[in-house]
């Protein structure tokens, strides 16, 4: 079997590892990969944005299955293009990907299908947003409000403003292109600020049936105690205690089924991976965001728990028979701690040689997934991105998995290496 993975980060390394784990004979290609992925797969120099190049490669190589890691390729319509060419691919179509690629679209969709989410207003200019803020519909001057760029912004397009003044400053900064590129800010969404515990729930979907993965919690801020700038994610844990059985049932009934049924009724069934960013409020679970792909580093922590062959799950998603497949997960917990380069998430320092990788990887029940790494001309693994490695461990409970991950992380070093010591706390 030949599999193509699209992307180059820790998520894609975990996907390659998972496909290979149950069957070493599979040939994996990754576009465009990293130093860790190159140990499992043949890395091909095609950018995840180059949809035509990827389709051509998949057809020429007779790829049996393509798995898309990130949102950019999905928003560009890679799934539509592959399906037109009769190539098997896991992911949503471009229209279904709008649930992630346009926050305004997602909010209108949730309102239409009565899916619990924060009260909102879609605004197409700074004047309109400021008028709506000053009207008092989002509370008085002291009330926190959330300001979000409509388009894809890699986590940088959201400002949780503590009061109206900060919200207005965020509106201006977004429209002036100070926070994210102007193309991500054709319009913006104002949202009521929700309070509660955040949890992410990711599932496989065949458009009709879904299969939940273990619930996860991500730590998005760079600093300990959830302080400082937002990042792509500094660490994730999976643990059954993150959601009770009752909460999971409520989410399935009030959010997941209406989402899958609503999307199918609107003509864009959501297939592949559906990721719910949730706030567990006093009034029940509410959707903060939809993603239509695996998270990074959620994937690393989730896939180390997967007992069933990922290729078998992909097959069930393509056949629409997820309801007939039993998916097995390890009992217990997992943790992924991200080791980042100096100055991440601003302009990370690159090109430093990484020490201790082999010792860390040899630790029991630990897998070190590569995010931003490359091989230098002498064959050493060097840093090549902001998030560099995801040290991932499984154990029978959360504190043991964290202990294992940190023990392995402490064996790794490079000039300027940084990681949070409070993941899972």
The site for ligand AMP (CB under 6 A) is made up of 118, 146, 148, 158, 160, 191, 193-194, 198, 220, 277, 288-289
Residue 390's binding partner among ligand AMP, ligand GLY, none (Cβ under 5 to 8 angstroms by kind) is none
The residue among 195 and 246 lying less far from ligand AMP, judged by its C-beta, is: 195
Q: How far is the CB of 288 from ligand GLY (least distance, A)?
A: 11
206 binds ligand GLY (CB under 6 A): no
CB of 120 to ligand AMP, least distance (A): 8
Nearer to ligand GLY, 100 or 352 (CB): 100
Return the one option of ligand AMP, ligand GLY, none that residue 405 interacts with (CB less than 5 to 8 A, by type): none
The least CB distance from residue 231 to ligand GLY, in Å, is: 9
Report the residue number, 302 or 417, with the smaller CB distance to ligand AMP. 302
Between residues 187 and 291, which has the closer beta carbon with respect to ligand GLY?
Answer: 291
Contact between 291 and ligand GLY by CB under 6 A: the answer reads: yes
Counting residues that bind ligand GLY (by CB under 6 A) gives 7
Near ligand GLY by CB under 6 A: residue from 218, 280, 373, 388:
218
Q: How far is the CB of 226 from ligand GLY (least distance, A)?
A: 14
Q: Cβ distance 238 to 334 under 8 Å? A: yes
Using only C-alpha atoms, what is the Rg of the chain? Answer: 21
CB of 59 or CB of 162, closer to ligand AMP: 162
Positions 298 through 337 that interact with ligand GLY (CB under 6 A): 298
Task: Indicate which of ligand AMP, ligand GLY, none lies near residue 193 (CB less than 5 to 8 Å, by partner kind).
Answer: ligand AMP
**Residue 424, interface with ligand GLY (CB under 6 A)?**
no
**What, of ligand AMP, ligand GLY, none, does residue 128 touch, CB below 5 to 8 Å by kind?**
none
**Complex with ligand AMP: residue 44 or 160, whichever CB lies closer:** 160
408 Rama class: left (phi>0) / alpha (psi -120 to 50) / beta: alpha
Residues that bind ligand GLY (CB under 6 A): 218, 232-233, 291, 295-296, 298
């Amino acid at each position: 079997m030949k599999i193509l993975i699209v992307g180059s980060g820790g998520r894609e390394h975990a996907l390659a590892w998972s496909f290979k784990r149950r069957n070493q004979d599979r040939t994996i290609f990754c576009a465009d990969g990293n130093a860790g992925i190159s140990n499992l797969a043949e890395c091909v120099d095609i950018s995840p944005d180059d949809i035509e190049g990827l389709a051509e490669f998949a057809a020429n190589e007779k790829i049996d299955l393509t798995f898309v890691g990130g949102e950019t390729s999905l928003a560009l319509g890679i799934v539509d293009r592959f399906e037109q060419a009769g190539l098997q691919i896991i992911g949503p179509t471009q229209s279904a990907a709008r649930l992630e690629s346009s926050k305004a679209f997602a909010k209108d969709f949730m309102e239409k299908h009565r899916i619990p989410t924060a009260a909102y207003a879609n605004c197409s200019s700074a004047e309109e947003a400021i008028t709506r803020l000053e009207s008092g519909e989002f509370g008085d001057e002291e009330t926190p409000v959330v300001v979000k760029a409509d388009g894809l912004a890699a986590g940088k397009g959201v400002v949780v403003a503590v009061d109206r003044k900060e919200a207005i400053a965020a509106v201006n900064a977004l429209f002036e292109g100070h926070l994210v590129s102007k193309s991500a800010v054709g319009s913006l969404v104002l949202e009521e600020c929700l309070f509660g515990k955040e949890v992410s729930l990711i599932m496989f979907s065949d458009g009709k049936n879904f299969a939940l993965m273990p619930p996860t919690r991500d730590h998005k801020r760079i600093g300990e105690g959830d302080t400082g700038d937002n990042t792509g994610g500094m660490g994730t844990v999976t643990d059954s205690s993150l959601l009770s059985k009752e909460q999971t049932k409520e989410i399935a009934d009030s959010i997941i089924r209406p989402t899958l049924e609503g999307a199918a009724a609107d003509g864009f069934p959501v297939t592949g991976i559906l990721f719910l960013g949730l706030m567990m409020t006093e009034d029940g679970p509410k959707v903060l965001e939809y993603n239509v792909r695996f998270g990074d580093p959620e994937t690393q922590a989730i896939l180390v728990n997967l007992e069933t062959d990922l290729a078998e799950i992909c097959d069930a998603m393509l056949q629409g028979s997820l309801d007939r497949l039993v998916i097995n997960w390890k009992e217990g917990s997992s943790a992924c701690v991200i080791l980042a380069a100096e100055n991440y998430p601003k302009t990370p320092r690159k090109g430093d040689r990484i020490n201790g990788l082999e010792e860390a990887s040899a630790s029991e029940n630990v897998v070190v997934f590569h995010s931003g790494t490359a091989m230098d001309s002498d064959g050493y693994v060097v840093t090549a991105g902001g998030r560099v490695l995801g040290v991932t461990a499984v154990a029978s409970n959360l504190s043991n998995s964290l202990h294992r991950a940190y023990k392995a992380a402490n064996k790794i070093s490079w000039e300027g290496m940084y990681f949070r010591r409070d993941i899972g706390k």
